A and B are shown apart, each in its own frame.
Chain A
Amino acid sequence: MKPQRLGGEVQIEISGPRCEQLVNMAVTRGISMWGLTREDETLRTWIEPADFSSLRPLVRETNCSVHILQRRGVSFWWRSNFHRRSMVVGLVVCLLVLVFMSSLVWVIEVEGAEEVDADAVLTAAHEEGLTPGTWRHNLVLTDIARAIERRIPAVTWVGLHMQGVKVTIEVLDKTGYSRLTADAVVDIVAAEDATVKEIYVLAGTPEVTEGMTVSRGDVLIRGYAAVEGLGAVSASGTVRGLVRHMGLAEVQLDQKVMVPTGRKMVSTFISVGGLQLPLGWRREKEEFPFEHYRLQREAKTLSVGWPKPLRVEIERLKFEEFSDYIRNLTLPEAEQLALAKAGHRMRSEIPQHAVVLETESTVTLTEDTVVAQVRGMSLQDVGVERPIEEQSGDSSEKKDNRE
């Protein structure tokens, strides 16, 4: 059955010898009907209220009789309750309260504070006028953020953003900032085993030359940490190399295939605080409806209330049943499938921007299994940034290099 329409809907009963004909004539005149059922010698159906008057000429033409069984929908509810003054007043008051309440800030959260006390940030925010119950539209978030930065010297940066009735204060303190800046000095190291073909250095010292073979993790361009009298140098540049790739796949001639049967079951749980309630056929989460199934989980969480918000989680588990059968592949089919799988595995290792230079493949048959191997070579960027290694003992040598 269709959900109730905003404009309302009426259920009518059609009786007479030619009631099907009345339905057909109504439909050809653009009247939609739904929920049509046969009850003994009559037909019952739902139509839009505006279409009821359009049925009159058709009723006369087909010698049928039509009468209304029930009405439902918002429009009918509104008409029947509009004369109740307290109802209307209550509705208007409810709307006004809703608008008023949603114009205030109700929740303030602090994120990212490590060294700085979150309560100190909240206190500073309160002193700058950001408290629960403040008008949302009166807040100038950037001014408050700068004021909190001034009030708490241990804070490097503050960002405020508002979502609905919640304001989140993001804080970056000095600890986080110093770690970020330390991480910014990097070496460029090999991401793969490769043969270097091209190297372009923008900053730092090259440690390899064209034609050299490097292993994963080897330093390609070296950066330097700050030492007394000299600033840090972060390695920068591009190193391209030839990288070998291989994909291997096995395919059995007798394939077990899983196919969806079309049967699905959905169960919903609602968790409030520590209490979990099932909404549907499953009482326990450990109950599974099918032997073979695929499970999709969706969860939505919201926090209600202040200052200690109550966590409400709605979890929806969707089970899709699968059944299995054995499919016998011919040898060419199995070879084709194995090569496709192996090729796909090899290609999945190669970055998008790499140029594939050559590929070769071999296929072997062992008892009831086909084994395919695809090998290839690509020209690709092999350098990745890595925070600089501990540099001790040989600082004089590194100083020379930098000069």
Chain B
Amino acid sequence: MRESIPDIFDLPKDVLLDLPRITIVGEHRAAVENHRGIARYQQDHLSIGYSSGRVIIRGSNLTVASISADEVIVEGRIESVFLQPDEVQKQ
């Protein structure tokens, strides 16, 4: 039911369901909005929490260009970005 409300009222899902909004610019920059902080950070691996899982960014020379309560901006050579919902982590 909760997932269908945004469709019924034509509202943005990322705001209503507190989902991350990820913007990737080429292979050098990614911005993650609606985040819950950095879970783990290495130069080749960055894990950013969101309401129901984690955004995993893999690459090399990864740096956090800026972090605020609203947005994390990651720079470096980005090779992959994927989402890991909490159910997968529990398994």
Which A positions have Cβ atoms within 8 angstroms of B? 1-2, 20, 23-24, 27-28, 30, 32-38, 43, 45, 262
Contact = CB atoms under 8 A, between A and B. Distances in A.
Contacts of A38: 41-43, 62
A318 to B, nearest CB: 18
- The 6 closest A-B CB pairs, nearest first, are A24-B37, A36-B64, A34-B66, A20-B38, A37-B63, A33-B67
Given A38-B42, A262-B26, A27 B37 contact: yes
Count chain A CB atoms within 10 A of each CB in B26, B42, B66 and give the residue with the most. B66
A372 B36 CA distance: 57
Contact of A28 (B26, B63, B69): B69
Nearest to A262: B26
B37 to A, nearest CB: 3
A24 B38 contact: yes
Contacts, number: 51
A246 to B, nearest CB: 45
B41 A27 contact: no
Interface in B27-61: 36-43
A33 B26 contact: no
B68 interface: yes
Interface of B is mostly: strand
B66 A2 contact: yes
A195 to B, nearest CB: 53
Given A35-B63, A36-B63, A262-B26, A43 B69 contact: no
Interface residues of B, number: 17
B15 interface: no
B16 interface: no
B65 interface: yes
27 contacts: A1-B65, A2-B66, A20-B37, A20-B40, A20-B41, A23-B37, A23-B38, A23-B67, A24-B37, A24-B38, A27-B37, A27-B69, A28-B37, A30-B69, A33-B67, A34-B64, A34-B65, A34-B66, A35-B64, A35-B66, A36-B63, A36-B65, A36-B66, A38-B41, A38-B43, A38-B62, A45-B64
B67 A27 contact: yes
Contacts of A28: 37, 69
A23 B38 CA distance: 8
A33 B67 CA distance: 5
Contact of B66 (A20, A32, A43): A32
